[in-house]
Amino acid sequence: MSFATIVACAAHEPDKMAGTWTVTLDVWHDYEVGDQVTVTEGSTPNEFYILNTTNPAVNNTSVIMIVTVDDVGNVTDITSSEIYDYGVPIVPTDAGGSLVFSCVGVISLNVEWLTSDLTGTYGEFAFVLTKN
């Protein structure tokens, strides 16, 4: 018999988001496990940015993944500052089930990658980071 455990934070703590994070899972395969990414504060307390400056897969490393979180750590939206350029233009969105555990330093996103006209999908992919 086995049990799954989820650590829940009492509330989202936006002041704990900025810093260097380590990739622990990237099913889309932009990053390798152990790669480092930078997370910065967003324009509102419940928003943070995942920078792509170290992303080897995109042509426009200036693109920013924008994540909005409600007060209890549930991701409510994933967007980007511009369309991602992988040789073909695509955009991220939240596929549901994404969680942010700021109190223990875990970002667990379920990202759906869409065609730039939002009419097609490349599928849903897990992207998990832990704070250094």
pLDDT digits (tens, 9 = 90+) for 55-105: 999 999 999 999 999 877 678 899 999 999 999 999 999 999 898 988 899
Q: Is residue 1, in this structure, part of any structural domain at all?
A: no
Q: Is residue 6, in this structure, part of any structural domain at all?
A: no
Whichever domain contains 97, its CATH number is: 2.40.128
Q: Is residue 5, in this structure, part of any structural domain at all?
A: no
Question: Does the pLDDT at position 6 exceed 70?
Answer: no
> Total structural domains in the chain?
1
Q: Which pLDDT belongs to residue 13?
A: 87
Please state the rounded mean pLDDT for residues 22-31: 97
Distance CA 125, CA 109 (A): 8
Q: Is residue 63, in this structure, part of any structural domain at all?
A: yes
Query: What three-state secondary structure class fits 16?
Result: helix
Question: Does the pLDDT at position 112 exceed 70?
Answer: yes
Share of the chain above pLDDT 70, in %: 95
Sort 10 into a burial class: Cβ within 10 Å, 0-12 / 13-18 / 19+.
Answer: exposed
Domain region containing 76:
14-131
* pTM (2 d.p.): 0.91
